[in-house]
Structures are given as structure tokens and as C-alpha cells.
Amino acid sequence: MKCRICNREALEKYCELHEKAYRNIVQKYDSWKRAMDVSWKEYLNEIAKNPYTGSWAKEVAEQLLKNEDR
């Protein structure tokens, strides 16, 4: 199986590096949600446009936004 973002070998949806970034995003969302009322999509948008976001996390956020149809 290939990573949904890059073409590296993936364990599940993502390769090791994108998986790590994805977990960070999910983890951070919990504290964001507690601090302010922000939706998952708004949160992903914030990550994607934040110039300080690492490129791995940014790629994951963009990928999630593209596939988020809920």
C-alpha cells in the first residue's frame, strides 16, 4: 500500500512520516477544541494556511481537507 500523500510505502493510509504528522494534528485538535469552539475543518484550514506549520503536517491537512466531505 502507498501513502495517500507521497509514494512511500504506507502501513495504513500514510507512510511513517505522514502518519506521525497526522497523529500530531489529531492530538492537537483535542486541546484546540477545549480552548475554543473550532470545527475539524476550520482547524485543518488553520493548519494549512499557517506559515509555521511543518510541511508534513501541512500536506496532511490539505489532503484531509480535500477528502473531507462530511
Binding-site ranges for Zn ion (CB under 5 A): 3, 5-6, 8, 15, 18
Please give the residue whose beta carbon sits closest to Zn ion in the complex: 3
Residue (16 or 46) nearer to Zn ion, CB: 16
At closest approach, how far in Å is the CB of 10 from Zn ion? 7
CB 4 within 8 Å of CB 14: yes
Residues whose CB falls within 8 Å of the CB of residue 12, separated by 6 or more in sequence, listed in order: 1, 19
Residue (15 or 57) nearer to Zn ion, CB: 15
Which residue carries 502518519 as its cell?
Answer: 19
At closest approach, how far in Å is the CB of 33 from Zn ion? 26
Residue (18 or 58) nearer to Zn ion, CB: 18
Spatial separation of the C-alpha atoms in residues 37 and 61, rounded to whole Å: 19
